Amino acid sequence: MLRSSNINSVLNELPDPSAQSSSSSNGNLKQDAETCCSSKDQDIMGSLAALQLSAGVLQIAEPPLEHVRGQLRELIGRQNKIYIDLSKEKYKLDCSEVAKLNDMMSDVKRYKEKLTKIKKEMQGVYQRTKELKKRAANVAACKHRDYQRKLDRQQHEESLIGSH
């Protein structure tokens, strides 16, 4: 795309059509007319008109484009700022999630230890209960034997008393 400063430099480099027609070698009017109307001159005039037209369009279009460029720069800057802020927030959330996960893992470890301790206690209680039931059965059996002996003794004494 041509800028206005570039157009001026291009215009300055173009040969002047009036200088070419005045520097013809024999000064003939016919040759001057041919030189003026030659395809080379028409190309130069056409390119000069195109350059002037593009310069005019550029003068019209350049200020809004510069304004839009400025707005785009501002928008990109804001987007970058938002991206950076969001990245920071994501990092904070990631860190807090990692902290929560670590807390949860330590809770799991602590609860597992508690569960193991309770399980051991339950097994101890079960063993003691089993022993106590066994002892209770033995005590009951002993009591029953003692009672049976007592009954046997009583019956024996009654039989002795009754036979006298």
pLDDT tens digit string along 86-102? 999 888 888 888 888 89
- Determine the pLDDT at residue 20: 42
Q: Are 8 and 52 in contact (CB under 8 A)?
A: no
pLDDT tens digit string along 45-82? 778 888 888 888 888 888 888 999 999 999 999 999 99
pLDDT tens digit string along 13-25? 544 444 444 444 4
Whole-prediction pTM: 0.37
- Determine the pLDDT at residue 156: 87
Three-state SS sequence of 108-125: HHHHHHHHHHHHHHHHHH
Residue 7 makes CB contacts below 8 A (sequence gap 6+) with: 51, 54, 55, 58
Q: Hey, what are 61's tokens?
A: 């279009």
Query: Residue 164 — pLDDT band, cuts 50, 70, 90?
Result: low
